């Protein structure tokens, strides 16, 4: 397992132009970007391409790639009611990682994981604070990582950090010392050190990074880890 802690900017795009604008700000500063995809059903929020389908069909048909795909790798956080259909779309669009939310997965979720892995993408499962994750214990050897959510109201930025997630991550890490752990939500200079101490490998941050200068904010997060 790679023990290097990675910082991953999260973009919750209003439209395609917003995605391009934000991706351009972190291009050549990080290796990975997360796109938050919300259909308005699983969460109360809606993001591109549901808000506006412009450009998405061209991306799926291979006429365009995701912005700056030569320089950035994309992981897709699928906060959607139909994860199978949407996951396969985004793999076709060029996503290298797919994050599925435990609450949206039906009984055949192992088949979906196998299908995605056979397509060559990394697969993670997202877990909410205090959520019972025993359902995924049987597939831990198949998935590449687990993403804990550091907020209760997912799909909305600037939420208060759910401190109870620290114990949840610590317990998971003790039981799964080799599994990659990501955290999304409430990641800032006040929480990063605590998160790394309990075993987090990837720090996903949206509102903190994009509030002001992303370059400076990423440097500030990195400095907080020392």
Q: For residue range 19-54, list pLDDT tens digits in order.
A: 999 999 999 999 999 999 999 999 889 999 987 777
Residue 54 forms part of a structural domain: yes
Residue 103 forms part of a structural domain: yes
Total-model pTM? 0.94
CATH number at residue 195: 3.20.20.70
pLDDT band, very low/low/confident/very high, at 3 (cuts 50, 70, 90): low
Q: Name the domain count of the chain.
A: 1
pLDDT digits (tens, 9 = 90+) for 117-164: 999 999 999 999 999 888 899 999 999 999 999 998 877 777 789 999
Rounded Cα gap, residues 135 and 146, in angstroms = 13
Residue 66 forms part of a structural domain: yes
Rounded Cα gap, residues 59 and 65, in angstroms = 5
Residue 137 forms part of a structural domain: yes
Residue 168 forms part of a structural domain: yes
Residue 192 forms part of a structural domain: yes
Statement: residue 94 has pLDDT above 90: yes
Report residue 101: phi and psi, to 5°. -95, 130
Rounded Cα gap, residues 53 and 70, in angstroms = 23
Query: Token digits for 183?
Result: 């955290």
What is the pairing mode between strands 73-79 and 32-38?
Answer: parallel
Q: Which residues contact 50 (CB under 8 A, 6 or more apart)?
A: 37, 38, 39, 40
Helix (H) or strand (E) holding 83: helix 83-93
Report residue 161: phi and psi, to 5°. -65, 135
Helix (H) or strand (E) holding 101: strand 97-101
Rounded Cα gap, residues 181 and 8, in angstroms = 13
Range of the domain at 154: 6-224
Residue 1 forms part of a structural domain: no
Residue 109 forms part of a structural domain: yes
pLDDT band, very low/low/confident/very high, at 61 (cuts 50, 70, 90): confident
């Amino acid at each position: 397992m790679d023990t290097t802690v990675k910082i991953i900017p999260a973009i919750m795009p209003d439209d395609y132009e917003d995605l391009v604008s934000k991706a351009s700000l972190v291009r050549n500063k990080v290796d990975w970007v997360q796109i938050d995809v919300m259909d308005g059903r699983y969460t109360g929020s809606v993001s591109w391409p549901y808000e506006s389908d412009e450009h998405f069909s061209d991306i799926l048909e291979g006429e365009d790639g995701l912005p700056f795909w030569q320089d950035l790798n994309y992981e897709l956080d699928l906060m959607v009611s139909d994860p199978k259909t949407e996951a396969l779309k985004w793999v076709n669009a060029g996503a290298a990682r797919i994050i599925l939310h435990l609450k949206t997965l039906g009984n055949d979720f192992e088949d979906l994981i196998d299908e995605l892995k056979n397509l060559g993408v990394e697969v993670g499962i997202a877990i909410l604070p205090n959520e019972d994750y025993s359902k995924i214990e049987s597939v831990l050897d198949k998935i590449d990582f687990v993403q804990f959510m550091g907020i209760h109201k997912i799909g909305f930025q600037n939420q208060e950090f759910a401190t109870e997630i620290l114990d949840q991550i610590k317990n998971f890490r003790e039981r799964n010392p080799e599994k990659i752990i990501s955290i999304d939500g409430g990641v800032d200079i006040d929480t990063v050190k605590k998160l790394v101490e309990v075993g987090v490998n990837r720090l996903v941050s949206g509102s903190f990074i994009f509030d002001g200068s992303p370059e400076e904010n990423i440097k500030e997060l990195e400095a907080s880890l020392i």
